[in-house]
């Protein structure tokens, strides 16, 4: 919402309403980017947790007086997951803010020479591809009539 305040120069409540309406009108894009982003961030959390577990097992196996090291490794993995969650939540907020700025850019500008998009062409291409993929997934597989036109 503060991005809309900065872009449009309106007060907070007006900008909050505009941000909400922008996200609602671009719900397919929001769903596509959030699903991909959440999956990648979840893989990052699992990667940090797995790396911590591997280091913990290797380090604790070297201790000769410790025979049962599963509980300490599990405890360290839980803490590693929560710490990774805290750090990667910052990236999630950045992704959400960039998505809101992208949607606002698309609403304000039309891509012509007079009103060019501020977002890069690669970002436009990525978001449109993910939106198209999600649209196909929600619509379901194409029927034979959609693939081949009816012959008379």
Does the pLDDT of residue 152 top 60, yes or no?
A: no
3-state SS assignment for residue 133 = helix
| pTM (two decimals) | 0.67
Predicted confidence (pLDDT) per residue in 127-140, tens digit: 777 777 767 777 76
Predicted confidence (pLDDT) per residue in 67-111, tens digit: 788 888 999 999 999 999 999 999 999 888 888 888 887 777 777
More confident residue, 44 or 125: 44
Which tokens belong to 135?
A: 């649209």
- How far apart, in whole angstroms, are the C-alpha atoms of residue 49 and residue 78? 8
Can you tell me which residue has the tokens 């410790």? 66
């Amino acid at each position: 919402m503060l991005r809309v305040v900065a872009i449009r120069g309106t007060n907070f409540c007006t900008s909050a309403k505009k941000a909400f309406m922008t996200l609602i009108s671009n719900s397919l894009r929001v769903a596509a980017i959030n699903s991909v982003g959440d999956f990648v961030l979840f893989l990052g959390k699992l990667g940090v947790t797995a790396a911590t577990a591997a280091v913990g097992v290797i380090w604790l196996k070297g201790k000769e007086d410790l025979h049962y090291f599963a509980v300490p490794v599990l405890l360290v993995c839980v803490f590693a997951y929560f710490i990774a969650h805290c750090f990667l939540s910052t990236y999630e907020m950045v992704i959400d803010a960039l998505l809101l700025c992208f949607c606002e850019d698309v609403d304000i500008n039309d891509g012509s020479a007079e009103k060019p998009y501020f977002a890069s062409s690669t970002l436009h291409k990525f978001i449109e591809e993910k939106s198209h993929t999600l649209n196909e997934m929600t619509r379901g597989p194409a029927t034979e009539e959609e693939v081949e036109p009816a012959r008379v």
